[in-house]
């Protein structure tokens, strides 16, 4: 298909690697003779026409940067029918024939709404939560997991010195993916996630088992979707008399230079998104599945739920006895 102008925006919570995806969109677009417009602050910029022409140099020196230089937002206005109409009008005014949305499921819902009203859209999964189906990973997840693993190492040092337990709360919204991956990589005694019911007596038993064989620290990784870290710490202290601290990692997990994995995946997904628009495709998500870039219907993505890796959870449990 002969399109001339495409737009790109980043939306929802930022994720390390979003810049690499935008860079890939801009450079692939320009390489293929397209005009590429950068929309600032996600859908907010689309509703209000906060749009700039991108050049090769507007994405120079960003592949290694965390955050998103296009900035992002969670636009309430865009959720309304009127907001979406305004956005469509802006797309027409700026001649945007195809829109690439880098974001999570909330952003994809918005993209589908635009598509239902006639826009051409392609989604690129960017969220640290890794809660999007039909892609093994989302942009930013690998970096966030590495940040958490680094934090676990630091917390383990001080926890050992004091012979304590530490509950480390990590992000992920309703998904336990960050907790599971970081907990396995960090050797946590217990990983508490929304996908699996937990028993506080088992958590205590694991702490005591470790201590009885001379372990100086106990690390519990808790997903924010379960929550209740401080109450859990009090219960552990009451039940087994082990001093327990809480660390809520928060937004530290969202920042920082993206890992090579995130940069490479973001580059591949961003480039493929442009190709799909040039092929005349719409309402698709580009994903990374079995080590390959593929595309899938965006509506199918929204209707599905990501499969929980129960075998990985079981393995983490065995390895932390």
**What minimum distance in Å lies between the beta carbon of 233 and ligand F6P?**
21
88 touches ligand F6P by CB under 6 A: no
Binding pattern for the stretch 269-308 against ligand F6P, x by CB under 6 A and - elsewhere? ----------------------------------------
- C-alpha distances (whole Å) from 319 to each of 118, 247, 264, 311 are 51, 23, 31, 12
- Of the residues 14, 50, 105, 129, only one is catalytic, namely 129
| Helices and strands: H and E segment counts in the chain | 11, 11
CB of 15 to ligand F6P, least distance (A): 7
> What torsion, rounded to 10 degrees, do the Cα atoms 42, 43, 44, 48 define?
120
83 lies in the binding site for ligand F6P (CB under 6 A) = no
**Rg of the chain over all Cα atoms, to the nearest angstrom:** 22
- Per CB under 6 A, the list member of 97, 129, 142, 169 interacting with ligand F6P is 129
Interface with ligand F6P (CB under 6 A), residue from 38, 103, 104, 287 = 104
Residues that bind ligand F6P (rule: CB under 6 A) add up to a total of: 10
Distances (CA, A) of 55 to 20, 22, 31, 40, 58: 15, 12, 11, 15, 5
Output 7 or 13, the one with its CB closest to ligand F6P. 13
Residue placing its CB nearer to ligand F6P in the complex, 38 or 104: 104
Minimum Å gap between C-beta 104 and ligand F6P is 6
Minimum gap (Å) between residue 253 Cβ and ligand F6P: 7
Chain residues 148-207 in contact with ligand F6P, contact rule CB under 6 A = 171-173
The least CB distance from residue 247 to ligand F6P, in Å, is: 16
Q: Quick one: 194 or 270, whose CB is closer to ligand F6P?
A: 194
When binding is defined by CB under 6 A, the residue of 13, 83, 126, 287 that contacts ligand F6P is 13
Any contact of residue 101 with ligand F6P (CB under 6 A)? no
Structure tokens at 189: 């005694």
Angle at which helices 18-31 and 260-278 cross, to 10°:
40
Segment 219 to 258, residues that bind ligand F6P, using CB under 6 A? 224, 254
For residues 115 and 128, which CB has a smaller minimum distance to ligand F6P in the complex? Answer: 128
Which residue lies nearer to ligand F6P by CB, 242 or 246? 246
Among 47, 63, 91, 128, binds ligand F6P (CB under 6 A): 128
Assigned token pair, 175: 């998904």
Nearest to 98 by CA among 117, 79, 122: 122
105 is catalytic: no
| Residue matched to tokens 């009885």 | 212
- The answer to the question of residue 59 lying near ligand F6P (CB under 6 A) is no
Beta strands in 196-304 (DSSP E): 218-223, 244-248, 284-289, 292-297
CB of 250 to ligand F6P, least distance (A): 8
Greatest CA span in the chain, whole angstroms? 70
In angstroms, give the least distance from the CB of 99 to ligand F6P: 21
Nearest CA among 148, 100, 149, 97 for reference residue 126: 100
What is residue 117's DSSP assignment? T
Give which of 37, 31, 41 is closest to 97, Cα–Cα: 37
Q: What are the tokens at 307? A: 């499969």
3-state SS assignment for residue 12: coil
Task: Give residues in contact with ligand F6P (CB under 6 A).
Answer: 13, 104, 127-129, 171-173, 224, 254
Residues belonging to the active site: 129
């Amino acid at each position: 298909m002969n399109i001339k102008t495409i737009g790109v925006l980043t939306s929802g919570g930022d994720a390390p690697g979003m810049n690499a995806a935008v860079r890939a969109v801009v450079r692939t677009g320009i390489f293929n003779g397209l005009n590429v417009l950068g929309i600032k602050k996600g859908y907010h910029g689309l509703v209000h026409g906060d749009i700039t022409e991108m050049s090769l140099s507007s994405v120079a020196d960003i592949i290694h940067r965390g955050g998103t230089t296009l900035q992002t937002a969670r636009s309430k206005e865009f959720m309304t029918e009127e907001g979406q109409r305004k956005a469509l009008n802006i797309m027409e005014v700026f001649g945007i024939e195809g829109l690439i949305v880098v974001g999570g499921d909330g952003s994809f819902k918005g993209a589908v709404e635009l598509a239902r009203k006639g826009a051409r859209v392609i989604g690129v999964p960017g969220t640290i939560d890794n809660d999007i189906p039909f892609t093994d990973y989302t942009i930013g997840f690998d970096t966030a997991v590495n940040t958490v693993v680094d934090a676990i190492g630091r917390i383990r040092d001080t926890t050992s010195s004091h012979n304590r337990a530490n509950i480390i709360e990590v992000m992920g919204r309703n998904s336990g993916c960050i907790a599971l991956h970081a907990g396995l990589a960090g050797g946590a005694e217990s990983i508490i996630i929304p996908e699996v019911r937990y028993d506080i007596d088992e958590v205590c038993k694991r702490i005591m088992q470790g201590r009885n064989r001379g372990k100086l620290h106990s690390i519990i990784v808790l997903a924010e979707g379960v929550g209740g870290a401080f109450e859990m710490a009090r219960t552990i202290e009451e039940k087994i008399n082990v001093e327990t601290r809480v660390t809520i990692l928060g937004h530290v997990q969202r920042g920082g230079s993206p890992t090579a994995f995130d940069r490479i995946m973001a580059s591949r997904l961003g480039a493929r998104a442009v190709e799909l628009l040039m092929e005349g495709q719409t309402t698709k998500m580009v994903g990374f599945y079995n080590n390959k870039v593929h595309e899938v219907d965006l509506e199918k993505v929204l209707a599905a739920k990501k499969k929980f890796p129960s075998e990985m959870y079981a393995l983490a449990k065995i390895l932390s006895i």
